Amino acid sequence: MENTKENNKNLYIYEAPLSMSDTAPLGFQHVVAMVVGCITPALIISGGAGLSPEDKVLLVQSSLIFAGLATLLQNFGLFGKLGSKLPVIMGVGFAYVSTLSAIVKNAIEAGFDGPKAMAVVFGAQLVGGIISMIFGLFVKKLTKLFPPLVTGTVILSIGLGLYPVAVRYMAGGGNIDVNPNFGSLKNWAVALITLAVVLICNNWGKGTIKLASILIGVIVGYLVSIPLGMVNFSSIANAGLVQAPKPMHFGFEFVPSAIISLGILHIVNSIQAIGDLTATTQGGMDRLPTDDELQGGIIGYGFSSLMGSVFGCMPLSTFSQNVGIVTLNKCINRKIFVFSSIIVIIAGLLPKISAVLTTIPQAVLGGATISVFATISMTGVKMISSAGLNPRNIGVVGIALAIGEGIVRVPGSLTGFPKMIIDVFGTSATSTTTLIAVVLNLVLPQVIENISKKE
């Protein structure tokens, strides 16, 4: 009895002994909450690049392995400056998907094949990771450029940019020219069944059912799609038993426009990481993070993305859904997060598991992720609202989104500009929105509403 009481108390202490019976259920809870979100970007981007089944498996493997390694880095720290030493879970970030899709599309239109297009992604990611690390060193000064108003506008833009990705996948992936079943009733039926299950679990489920709503939706959608002939199991048979990630498998291609786009997004995600780290300490530890914890967290995030680019893992970020678990149950014992890390690393080392994940139909992924993309957008709306909806702030948000989203939706609107400008600002609304929001927030006077009131 005494040991049980001690264990229960130790759940709420970061560094304390903890039995496996207490560690395992809570650790699996974190794995369930993050695993689908972690692998989906790899499946979406590899599908857009037209990679071979073997390369898709490698991307999924790397996503899992580096999610685990990045989580360990954040929890333990390294060399004093790397890692926050806070109870956080890392994974491949959804926020990068629309920009990565644009980079891959531009590379293929420029004549690169799928693997070379991924080399462009990883070249930009390598530089983006370095930018994040530099941002972390000067975090206290640079965060002034990204108050909640600006960050919320950018996050809203990211969410809006992800909607077409989700709908394209709900319709079957690709387009009518490459996929004759694109937009078919079968694809939409599977996607909507998946979405319905996610919504039911998320709104009427409790505990693990609610936290695992996306995973449950994917499982149900997957099972429904098998008798409809939408699943090809050949990649599972061809996958090996154990395989480590292959360094430099895709190599690096350094394209300036891609580097600028991902560099901007790495800075934005650094700001988002500050929010997640703050939510973790406030919700789980009843305190604010220290400057060293924030700095170490961002530098560690940048280092993880940098190393991931070498081994074929796309950019990583803190996972907000896991922050939500910490806030909910306040169980912050580090052993829980170590257990979660080990589970996803082991899964990543087994190609058979990764191969199974690559067989998930695109309609299922679309149905499961559109709710996540909606949540990203509404997170941006919440941040904007917290800054206040006065005329000045409405102008910053409205103009930044209008120009950023408008340019992307009007092909050829930047025809008279150099190609690099077109590639950076004409294909990814987030880059344009970020730049305009930062400038407007600096230029427009903060007292404009007060002046109008006095008059």
CA distance linking residue 337 with residue 34, whole number of Å? 12
* Number of neighbouring beta carbons within 10 Å of residue 109: 11
Tell me what pLDDT residue 451 has. 43
Structure tokens at 391: 């005329």
Q: What is the helix (H) or strand (E) element at residue 91, kind and residue range?
A: strand 90-92
Closest CA to 268 of 131, 164, 362: 131
Question: Counting Cβ atoms within 10 Å, is residue 203 exposed (0-12), middle (13-18) or buried (19+)?
Answer: exposed
Quote the pTM value: 0.80
Tell me what pLDDT residue 218 has. 86
Q: Residue 388: CB partners within 8 Å, gap ≥ 6?
A: none
Give percent of the chain above pLDDT 90: 38
Tell me what pLDDT residue 202 has. 84
Tell me what pLDDT residue 447 has. 56
- Report residue 11: phi and psi, to 5°: -60, -30
The predicted-structure confidence for 188-205, as pLDDT tens digits, reads as follows: 999 999 999 989 988 898
Can you spell out the DSSP letters for 214-264? Answer: HHHHHHHHHHHHTTTT----HHHHHS-S-----TTSS-----HHHHHHHHH
Question: Residue ranges of the domains in the chain?
Answer: 15-140+181-372
Give helix then strand counts, H and E, for the chain: 21, 2
Closest CA to 434 of 157, 85, 201, 56: 157
* Number of neighbouring beta carbons within 10 Å of residue 82: 21
- Positive or negative CA dihedral for 446, 448, 449, 451? positive
DSSP state, 286? Answer: S
CA distance linking residue 381 with residue 154, whole number of Å? 10
Which residue numbers in the chain have pLDDT < 50?
1-2, 4-5, 448-455
Can you spell out the DSSP letters for 152-183? Answer: HHHHHHHHHHHHHHHHHHHTTSS-TTT-TTTT
Q: Write out 363-431 in H/E/C secondary structure.
A: HHHHHHHHHHHHHHHHHHHHHHHHCCCCHHHHHHHHHHHHHHHHHHHCCCCCCCCCHHHHHHHCCCHHH
